[in-house]
Chain A
Amino acid sequence: MQQIFNFIFKNSILLLFLLLLGISLSLVIQSHSYHRSRSVTSANAVSGYVYQKINDVEQYFSLKTENEKLAAENAELKKILYNGKDSIATTTTPTAVTGNFVVTQSRVISNSFGKRDNYLTINSGTNDGVKRDMGVVSSLGVIGIIENTSKNYSTVISVLNTRIKLDAKIKKNNHFGTLKWDGKNAGFALLTEVPRLAEVNKGDTIVTGGRSVIFPENIPIGKIEKVFIDKKTNYYTLQIRLFNDMTSLDHVYIIENKDIQEITTLEAQTTANE
Chain B
Amino acid sequence: MNSTVITNIARFILLLAVQVFIFNRINLFGFINPYPYILFILLYPVNGSKAGLLLSSFFLGLIVDMFLNSGGVHAAACVTLAYLRPTFFKFSFGISYEYQTIKINERLTPERFSFILISVVTHHIILYLLEIFSFSLILDILWRTLLTTVFTLIISTTIIYLIKPGKQ
Chain A residues within CB distance 8 Å of chain B: 12-13, 16-17, 20-21, 23-28, 30-32, 38, 40-42, 44, 46-47, 50-51, 54, 110, 112-117, 119, 121, 155, 183, 186, 247
Contact = CB atoms under 8 A, between A and B. Distances in A.
B75 A113 contact: no
A113 B27 contact: yes
A112 to B, nearest CB: 7
A13 B32 contact: no
B83 A28 contact: no
A30 B71 contact: yes
A119 B69 CA distance: 7
Given A41-B66, A247-B30, 19 more contacts: A12-B51, A13-B50, A17-B54, A17-B79, A17-B82, A24-B73, A28-B73, A30-B72, A31-B70, A31-B71, A32-B71, A32-B133, A40-B71, A41-B69, A46-B66, A54-B21, A112-B68, A113-B30, A115-B70
A24 B58 contact: yes
17 contacts: A13-B54, A16-B54, A21-B79, A24-B62, A24-B73, A24-B79, A27-B65, A28-B72, A28-B130, A31-B71, A31-B72, A38-B71, A42-B66, A47-B66, A115-B70, A116-B131, A155-B69
B36 interface: no
Chain B: interface residue count, which band? 35 or more
Contacts of A183: 137, 140
A40 B131 contact: no
A20 B58 contact: yes
A16 B51 contact: yes
Contacts of B51: 12-13, 16
B34 interface: no
Contacts, number: 99
B122 to A, nearest CB: 14
A186 B33 CA distance: 16
Interface string B1-45: 000000000000000000011000001001111000000000000
B61 A24 contact: yes
B128 to A, nearest CB: 10
B144 to A, nearest CB: 9
Contacts of B130: 25, 28
Contacts of A117: 131
Contacts of B137: 183
Contacts of B31: 113-115
B105 interface: no
Interface string B127-162: 000111100010010000000000000000000000
A50 B20 contact: yes
Contact of B76 (A28, A44, A46, A121): A28
Contacts of A44: 66
Contacts of B91: none
A202 B80 CA distance: 49
Contacts of B70: 31, 115
